[in-house]
């Protein structure tokens, strides 16, 4: 939690990131906040009340990504908000990222990469830690193992299963990636591997769990996409 909080503070105080203001863009934040609450309400979160689950929208249309740091600090780029076509897809992506935090994938991966000593130094000494930049960099460029990705994909369907959303919403994101070609496809595939296999898994898990949700709220999503970010 402390690790995520330090990343949150760093992103919010650094000039490298342009934060979409919550005060000036309440509709965008309220919209994502509602989706987040629906995901958290599914009943299986161990850290629902313990983690922060704080949303930050980052203004960068070229980055088609979202991530959730340890402790539930959620970051969503405007690039992915504009890339997706409906609310169920966004819910799927968010649920996937929240799954990484809930299952403590980031914490485990960071411990494996940097070791507990270095992380404790970072946690207790913050900006005074000689490892500060290195650990922040590590958190920002975190790559999960295939096993963790699979688990987060399963979380995504699970968390959405008892909602009105199509619980395989995240599949839409990967279907879109598969339709890309050229340089953009390569770039997207480097951060989102195995799209075909993952699409199948989303669909088959939805079947298996007999999820009934059928909505994607494409209309609402289009309205949100039309809002000008200030």
The binding site for Zn ion (CB under 5 A) comprises 149, 152
Shortest Å, Cβ 167 to Zn ion: 17
Q: Which is nearer to Zn ion, 89 or 149 (CB)?
A: 149
* b (16+ CB within 10 A) / e for 178-213: eebeeeeeeebeeeeeebeebbebbeebbeeeebeb
Question: Quick one: DSSP state of residue 215?
Answer: B
Rounded CA separation 227/174 (Å) = 25
Q: Which is nearer to Zn ion, 26 or 193 (CB)?
A: 193
Shortest Å, Cβ 149 to Zn ion: 5
Output phi, psi for 175, to 5 deg.
Answer: -65, -40
Q: Give how far the C-alpha of residue 73 lies from the chain's centroid of Cα atoms, to the nearest Å.
A: 9
Q: Which is nearer to Zn ion, 102 or 149 (CB)?
A: 149
Give just the sign of the alpha carbon dihedral 216, 72, 51, 47: positive
Shortest Å, Cβ 193 to Zn ion: 10
Shortest Å, Cβ 84 to Zn ion: 15
How many residues are present in the chain?
230
Shortest Å, Cβ 144 to Zn ion: 5
Q: Nearest-CA neighbor of 70 among 4, 2, 136, 139?
A: 4
Q: Which is nearer to Zn ion, 10 or 149 (CB)?
A: 149
Q: Which is nearer to Zn ion, 69 or 118 (CB)?
A: 69
Question: Which single residue brings its beta carbon nearest to Zn ion?
Answer: 152
């Amino acid at each position: 939690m402390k690790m995520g909080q330090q990343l949150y503070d760093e992103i919010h105080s650094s000039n490298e990131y342009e934060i979409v203001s919550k005060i000036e863009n309440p509709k965008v934040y309220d919209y994502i906040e509602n989706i987040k609450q629906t995901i958290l309400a599914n009943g299986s979160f161990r850290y629902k009340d313990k983690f922060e689950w704080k949303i930050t929208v980052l203004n960068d249309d070229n980055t088609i990504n979202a991530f959730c740091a340890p402790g539930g600090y959620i970051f969503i780029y405007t690039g992915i908000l504009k890339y997706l076509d409906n609310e169920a897809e966004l819910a799927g992506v968010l649920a996937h990222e929240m799954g990484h935090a809930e299952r403590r994938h980031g914490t485990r991966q960071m411990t494996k990469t940097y070791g507990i000593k270095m992380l404790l130094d970072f946690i207790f000494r913050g900006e005074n830690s000689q490892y500060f930049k290195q650990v922040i960099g590590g958190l920002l460029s975190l790559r999960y193992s295939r096993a963790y990705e699979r688990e987060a994909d399963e979380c995504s369907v699970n968390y959405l299963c008892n909602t009105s959303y199509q619980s395989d919403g995240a599949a839409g994101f990967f279907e879109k990636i598969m339709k890309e070609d050229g340089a953009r496809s390569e770039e997207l595939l480097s951060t989102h591997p195995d799209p075909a296999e993952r699409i199948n898994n989303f669909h088959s898990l939805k079947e298996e769990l007999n999820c009934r949700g059928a909505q994607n709220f494409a209309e609402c999503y289009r309205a949100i996409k039309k809002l000008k970010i200030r």
